[in-house]
Structure 1
Amino acid sequence: MSHIEDHRSHRVGWLRAAVLGANDGIVSTASLIIGVAAASTTHASIMLAGVAGLVAGAMSMAAGEYVSVSSQADTEYADLELERISLLENPQFEKNELAEIYEKRGVEPALARTVAEQLMAHDALGAHARDEIGISANGTARPVQAALSSASTFTIGAALPLLVAWAVPGQYLIHAVSLLSLCFLALLGALAARAGGAPVIKGAVRVTFWGALAMALTAAVGSIFGVVA
């Protein structure tokens, strides 16, 4: 009977961007709504601020992720080009270098050289990219995927407190947005932890704590400036 292991490392790229986007969407929009509401403004102004925050945040997340991951991709490409040139100009040196890497990991010298020769005969650049540089297929930078994932999840996350603010106007708005946003954050943390194979409760508490802190600080700022105004 075959044994199949369900590894989750291939999810790291999109999972990080998705969780970051959704978390930022919930926290920033809920905090913005609470801060504006704490300043005793109109419901229409609160909704306008929330919608503006959603649009600006989604675009900011997309642009930020694209630029950041593109920089990573550029660095990876440059490293691979250097390795490709070195393989063409000095293949024996590269073979020895790969064998030394395996030796340092505990492989016997003769076997390490055999492994290096066979891997380089199969895919020399792939072997060096993986074992020398540390670039794997699962971890390759994908700027467009990261940008779309962050922007879409930010929009979904931001829409949740915005819908709550729209449905519960008046004196209960701050309490409703705060409470339900914390519930959304806890659920997000739990789902992200489960998808990544981490402890669910730890993931939920971690996300909820920082979200609650952000909302509390924004509400305090809104109250102070509301009184001053």
Structure 2
Amino acid sequence: MEIGTDENPQHWHEEIGDDVGNRLNWLRAGVLGANDGIVSTAGIVMGVAGATAERSPVFVAGIAGLVAGALSMGAGEYVSVNAQRDSEQAMLAMEAQELQKMPETEQRELAKMYERKGLSRETAKQVAQELTDHDALAAHADIEFGIDPDNLTNAWHAAFASMVAFTTGALLPLLVITLSPLSIRVWATVVTVAIALAVAGFVQAKLGFSPRGRAVVRNVAGGLLAMVVTYAVGSLVGAHL
């Protein structure tokens, strides 16, 4: 069987390996952003709903929480990813200098690394030679740091993904509690948020190849706990105002 056919399990694993960095980055920014948007905004509007039966304060508080949360997520992601990118670029620059000053030593080091991974000495030398001839910096960056010099993390992409995901998640509880009849708005929000968090947990687990049931339970339990606590606090404070 030829490597690269759809029937070949090795081809499937190679595709996962090539794409896993990007997928995990977008997964982290997107799913965490959506989860935070759902839970934090649901907590805010539930807390205010516990303190007052009026719609306006709930809506205003929800909008304020949505905007503040989206900006905070975007700025935090931008700073975090930029710090990671600066570190990656510094390591690449250092490795490029070493390759320029002592290429033979670096090639021997590359061969030893592949030998430690299980290749025979002769095969490791051949692999190191061929990879060095093709792209020495990429070869060393991959095996030493797990970095692809041509595919560094983009801070703006991650920040934008976080902001959009947070906003999307935050709109759900905000719209439900604002548009639902007063008599059922709390329960409607609880049910809607629980379903949304279950879906988010399922998607996260599926894309990350992790147990789905555990992710769903964790997401839903955390969201419900946040809503119960904030509603109780809002009711207690509202009763004394």
Aligned with residue 139 of structure 2, among 108, 119, 127: 127
The CA deviation string for residues 31-64 of structure 1, in whole angstroms up to 9 with x for no partner, is 1000111112521000000011111111111111
By relative contact order (CA 8 Å, sep 6+), the higher-ranking structure is: 1
Alignment of 1:1-229 (within 5 A): 2=5, 3=8, 4-5=11-12, 7=16, 9=20, 10-40=22-52, 42-136=54-148, 140-229=152-241
Q: Distance in 1 between matches of 2:223 and 2:149?
A: 34
Q: Cα 1:193–1:172, aligned 2, differ >3 Å: closer, same or farther?
A: same
Q: Cα 1:138–1:204, aligned 2, differ >3 Å: closer, same or farther?
A: farther
The CA deviation string for residues 4-51 of structure 1, in whole angstroms up to 9 with x for no partner, is 415261411111100011101100101100011111252100000001
> Which consecutive residues of structure 1, in runs of 5 or more, have no partner in the other structure?
none
Please, what TM-score do these two structures have when normalized by structure 1? 0.93
Shift of 1:139: 7.2
1:17·1:149 contact (CA, 8 Å) conserved in 2? yes
1:25·1:57 contact (CA, 8 Å) conserved in 2? yes
The CA deviation string for residues 122-148 of structure 1, in whole angstroms up to 9 with x for no partner, is 100000110011213797321111011
Q: Distance in 2 between matches of 1:228 and 1:70?
A: 46
AA matched with 2:64: A
**Identical amino acids, percent of aligned pairs:** 44
> Which consecutive residues of structure 2, in runs of 5 or more, have no partner in the other structure?
none
Q: Cα 1:24–1:162, aligned 2, differ >3 Å: closer, same or farther?
A: same
The CA deviation string for residues 132-181 of structure 1, in whole angstroms up to 9 with x for no partner, is 11213797321111011110111111011111012114232222111211
AA matched with 1:228: H
AA matched with 2:176: V
Q: Distance in 2 between matches of 1:138 and 1:41?
A: 55
120-129 or 217-226, which deviates more: 217-226
Count of residues in Structure 1 that have an aligned counterpart in Structure 2: 229
